[in-house]
């Protein structure tokens, strides 16, 4: 069961491992990223950042969609981490059904404009978010569970 789907360009870090753990009590964290899944060193680095009592899977987007759609993680409480909105849309288009997406951190990069603190998006990312909103996905942003939940849908459309 997916308890949190989160976009954060830093992927696994202290806010996720410590901050969201209390709120979500996950059995597993899935880091879905084609580049990281294909790099043994990066994969091991991210896995090592998580307590050994939480299972970590680092998978490609295709593997993630296949496993979720086959019910492999139905008995686990899962935090699903994505690097950006493109990955969220790809999973959605491949049958991973979700109605809420947490946007935790999309930091400044050239070409991105500030929407909120720690949230910068470019034009193509905005179009992707709009597509998710058209499909009924609620876009909410907050760094930690105790932070104010800001619904982004009206800022994106």
113 to 93, 124, 155: CA distances (angstroms): 26, 12, 13
Using the 8-state DSSP alphabet, how is residue 2 labeled? E
pLDDT digits (tens, 9 = 90+) for 88-120: 999 999 999 999 999 988 888 899 998 887 789
**φ and ψ at residue 57, rounded to 5 degrees:** -120, 130
The SS3 assignment for 14 reads helix
CB 68 within 8 Å of CB 36: no
pTM, entire model? 0.94
Say which CATH class 2-156 falls into: alpha beta
Q: How far apart are CA 39 and CA 35, in angstroms?
A: 7
**φ and ψ at residue 70, rounded to 5 degrees:** -85, -5
pLDDT digits (tens, 9 = 90+) for 43-88: 999 999 888 888 999 999 999 999 999 999 999 999 999 999 999 9
* DSSP codes of every residue in 89-128: HHHHHTT---SEEEEEEB---TT-EEEETTEEE-HHHHHH
């Amino acid at each position: 069961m997916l308890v949190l789907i989160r976009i954060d360009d830093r992927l696994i870090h202290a806010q996720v491992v410590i901050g969201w753990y209390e709120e979500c009590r996950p059995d597993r964290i899935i880091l879905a990223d084609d580049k990281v899944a294909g790099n043994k060193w990066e994969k091991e680095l991210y896995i090592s950042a998580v307590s050994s009592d939480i299972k970590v899977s680092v998978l490609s987007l295709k593997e993630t969609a296949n496993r979720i759609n086959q019910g492999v993680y139905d008995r686990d409480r899962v935090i699903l981490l994505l690097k950006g909105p493109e990955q969220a849309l790809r999973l959605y288009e491949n049958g991973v059904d979700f109605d809420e997406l947490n946007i935790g951190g999309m930091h400044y990069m050239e070409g991105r404009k500030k929407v909120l603190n720690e949230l910068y998006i470019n034009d193509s990312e905005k179009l992707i978010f709009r597509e998710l909103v058209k499909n009924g996905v609620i876009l909410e942003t907050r760094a930690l569970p105790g932070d104010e939940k800001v619904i982004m849908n009206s800022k994106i459309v």
